[in-house]
Amino acid sequence: MTVTEHFVLPPIVLDQQRAIDAALELAAGWDSEANNLQNIAGYTRIHGTSLLADRYAMRARALSGNAQALRDALATVR
């Protein structure tokens, strides 16, 4: 955002954009955590029990789904 946009846009729009950006960062964090859980699930499947690995994988899918749902909801706002 340029300095000109900062002064032209009303403060409510800037606040909304900050909230959207924060929500997108949250979704990216969830995706990162989901990726880490998938890696743990893969390692656990090899070196541990498949039941525990399945729990990690299910949690990863849930986080990934939540992140996608948040991005979809934000797409309707923009």
What's the number of CA atoms in the CB half-sphere (13 Å) around residue 29? 6
H/E stretch holding 1 reads: none
**Domain spans in the chain, listed from the N-terminal domain onward:** 21-77
* Structure-block tokens of residue 71: 């991005």
| Distances, alpha carbon 1 to alpha carbons 11, 17, 40, 50, 76, in Å | 13, 11, 39, 48, 21
pTM metric for this prediction = 0.78
Convert the pLDDT of each residue in 21-78 to its tens digit: 999 999 999 999 999 999 999 999 999 899 999 999 999 999 999 999 999 999 987 6
Q: Which residues lie closer than 8 Å to 77 by C-beta, 6 or more apart?
A: 16, 20
